[in-house]
Amino acid sequence: MKYCLDCGDAVNGRADKKFCGDHCRCNYNNSINKTRNDSVKQINRILRKNAGILENLSRQGVEITTIPTLRAIGFDFTFFTHRLSDPAGKVCTFCYDYGYIELEKEKLSIRRAPEGKS
């Protein structure tokens, strides 16, 4: 006799059947993936917040800012989506479509990703 991996009830049917029904199968797989999905959601939330901060500053006409200013409004420098080099060889760190280039100590230039590069 085989038993459902989710609820423990007896499983009838094929010899390789692991669950008593679709509800138990979905519930079991959702519980396994929950931890992984929660951390991905948390990271994505931080990335969206970072991108939103840069986008808002850019829309307000701010081109140059500082690291302390960004930190004060909740920017987390630990997380970014990608890095690109500009033609001058400076590295731009992006959070989705918006990024920054370090100009000098603590000063940053806000940039928008070139079309097709985000």
The answer to whether 112 and 59 are in contact (CB under 8 A) is no
User: In which element (H, E) is residue 72 found?
Assistant: helix 67-72
pLDDT digits (tens, 9 = 90+) for 97-116: 999 999 988 999 999 987 76
Higher pLDDT: 39 or 44? It is 44
User: In which element (H, E) is residue 53 found?
Assistant: helix 22-59
**Bridge partners, residue 91, by sequence:** 85
Question: β-pairing, 91-95 with 82-85?
Answer: antiparallel
Give this prediction's pTM: 0.70
Rounded Cα distance between 38 and 77, Å, is 21
The phi and psi torsions of 98 (rounded to 5 degrees) equal -120, 145
Give the per-residue pLDDT at 113: 85
Helix (H, G, I), strand (E, B) or coil at 99: strand
C-alpha 27: how far from chain center: 25
- Copy the structure tokens of residue 41: 């959601």
User: In which element (H, E) is residue 42 found?
Assistant: helix 22-59
Give the per-residue pLDDT at 24: 95
Only one residue has tokens 């990608």, namely 82
Sorted by where each begins, the domain ranges of the chain are 18-112
pLDDT digits (tens, 9 = 90+) for 58-97: 999 999 999 999 999 999 999 999 999 878 889 999 999 9
